[in-house]
A and B are shown apart, each in its own frame.
Chain A
Amino acid sequence: MKDLMIDAQCVSKRFDGQQVLDEVSLAVPRGEVVGLLGSNGSGKTTMIRLLNGVINRDGGAMRVGGHDPQTDGTPIRAMSGILTEGAGLYHELSGRDNLDFFAKLYGVADRAPIGQLLDQFELTAHQHKPVGQYSTGMKKRLGLAKALLHEPQLLFLDEPTNGLDPEGIQMVIQYLRDLNRERGTTILLCSHVLHQLESICHRYVFLEQGKLLASGTQQELETAYMQHVVLRVETGLDIGEAAGSEGAIAAYAGHPVRQIEPGVLEFRLPSKNAISPLLQAILAESWVHAADITNRSLEALYFEIRSSGGERHV
């Protein structure tokens, strides 16, 4: 394993008699973007709080950048930036005053990055307005600017795209991708909007009711959890009248197939290795305009892992 920025082993946390995290282990290599995924209440936010040393764990061990958050949290907080779900901004102060204040807390002497970040997140025109008058998306972008003020080595982002419009989501994801690529910033990102993460995360950690369900790269998870491949093919192939009606299941080249709509067939294959022979067989009879694996999205993977109970560790 590469040099780890975050190394958490068997971490447990209870609140008011309720087990919020149950022996969860988490490894984030330096310079990688890791998605911490799970439904609401799965323990994602608690994990971020523990890693920052703002709450104490009940069991297990943790190191963040070489420090134990529980006993030596200040250096972790100094090298990390965080965007919490509520953004934690002062509504009576302007956007610039908020950034000025947090710059002082994080010991940023040079104020030039404030202007650059306001510019980057398209907030320059609104910098002197009280944050209370900002839209949800603007607050989120300002919260992100706040997290980036001191050029952190490590970023914790809790639902960073909540409340953003599609353009805002695109802007934020692109910015984070560039940040990781250009500065090598390690990012731990919590979200339940899975499709937004596919283009940015190197690996994933799935939590479910405080327990670790699975973790690994998308490829590792696919290999371990995907039992079959669903291939959608746009083709002129005629699979016979019996299966010609939409939805009815037939077989072609030994694989179950059904017609989704005229000219579109969906095959269920045992593995990716079956794709080429299938396409060759179809091409011998008809044309093929497109072929897509439809169950390899992160979302499909997530549901597959959940339904299998996550026993197969990678």
Chain B
Amino acid sequence: MSKRRWNREIVWAIAQKDIRAITRSKQIWIGMIALPLAFCLVLPLILVLVMRNLDVASWSADTVTFAEDLIGGLPAGDLQSFLLALPSLQHQMLYMAVNYLITPLFLLIPVITAGLIAANSFVGEKERRTLESLLFAPLEIRDLFLGKILATFLPTMVITYGGFLLYAVVVNALAYPMFGQLIVPTWDWAVLMLWLIPSVVLVTILLNVLISARVKGFQEAQQLGGVIVLPVVALMVGQLSGALLLSATLIGIIGGVLFLISFLLLRTITKRNQRHVLFEKQVH
């Protein structure tokens, strides 16, 4: 592979072409939109409405103690003092739920969306017998991969950020009467959205590309790619059980590690998939 810089026109042409194909495929659209709608519209709607109408006075002493311990057990700092300054346990619980307990769900949206697009993007070229045309063209394989990565990264980020915007609007609209101020986003959200999610999306795409370049069909690629969801589910369980609270520092570290993994994966992918290897494995 040549050492010259990547060809921006070719990378962008491939990305644009793929994005256009996504916007024209109902099958992919529905899959991409359904999850963010459930997580960003329906879930916060139910969550905030239920919590607004909670009758804390009727809670058992054990439940109240558990809730108070959860907040009391937080590391001393801005979050803890902010929570303790809120007027009631109900306010504190709602604030915790919408800003912390729900965050791992926001990792599921990009992971699932990126998996869906990435599997379709690569295996789709093979199934439609167009990969041959790309490999016969005067482009570097590295540029082909970069174009494909961009074609998944951009729509995934748009969906994720769009979903978060919807979430913030729904939560604030419903919680404003109680708090008298906007409660989403916090600074932790900014780190999550701008640092952790891009890194998670990159790793998801690259793992999918790695798998897609080896498997035969779209379904197989999706099933294998689905394995990537598991660590996110584990994170969510940890978060919900209170065992792990994603602080900005922790999010920063995880994001950094994931970016490093992405870099290593990209190197592996371009090394393992030279033109003739890709052609002999994928074109018949």
Contacts and interface: CB of A to CB of B under 8 A. Distances in A.
Interface string B122-159: 00000011101111111110000000000000000000
B173 interface: no
B9 A104 contact: yes
Interface stretch (A74-82, A186-194, A240-248): A74-82
A77 B279 CA distance: 15
> Size range of the interface on A?
20 to 34
Contact of B10 (A15, A55, A97, A104): A104
A138 B2 CA distance: 37
B272 interface: no
A90 B17 contact: yes
Contacts of A82: 136
B78 interface: no
Given A55-B279, A55-B280, A78-B138, A105 B13 contact: yes
A86 B276 contact: no
Q: Which of A15, A54, A56, A75 has the most CB of B within 10 A?
A: A54
A98 to B, nearest CB: 9
A76 B25 CA distance: 35
B132 A84 contact: yes
Given A88-B132, A107-B9, A102 B137 contact: yes
A73 B280 CA distance: 16
A79 B10 CA distance: 17
Contacts of A54: 135-136, 275-276, 279, 283
Nearest to A16: B280
Interface in A51-107: 52-56, 73-75, 77-78, 82, 84, 86, 88-93, 97, 101-102, 104-107
A49 interface: yes
Contacts of B3: none
A146 B10 CA distance: 16
B20 interface: yes
A62 to B, nearest CB: 14
Given A52-B136, A77-B138, A101-B13, A90 B276 contact: no
B5 interface: no
B138 A107 contact: yes
B21 A88 contact: no
A75 B2 CA distance: 12
Contacts of A84: 132-133, 136
A146 B132 CA distance: 14
A105 B137 contact: yes
Given A84-B132, A105-B139, A90 B21 contact: yes
A56 B276 contact: yes
Contacts of A104: 9-10, 13
A155 B20 CA distance: 30
Contacts of A92: 21, 24-25
Contacts of B129: 86, 88
A56 B21 CA distance: 32
A146 B17 CA distance: 16
Contacts of B276: 53-56
Contacts of A90: 17, 21, 128, 130
Nearest to A146: B133
Contacts of B20: 93, 97
Interface of A: 15, 49, 52-56, 73-75, 77-78, 82, 84, 86, 88-93, 97, 101-102, 104-107, 146
Given A54-B279, A55-B276, 10 more contacts: A49-B279, A53-B276, A82-B136, A88-B130, A88-B133, A89-B133, A92-B25, A97-B17, A102-B137, A146-B133
10 contacts: A54-B136, A54-B279, A55-B280, A77-B138, A78-B138, A92-B21, A104-B9, A105-B10, A105-B13, A105-B134
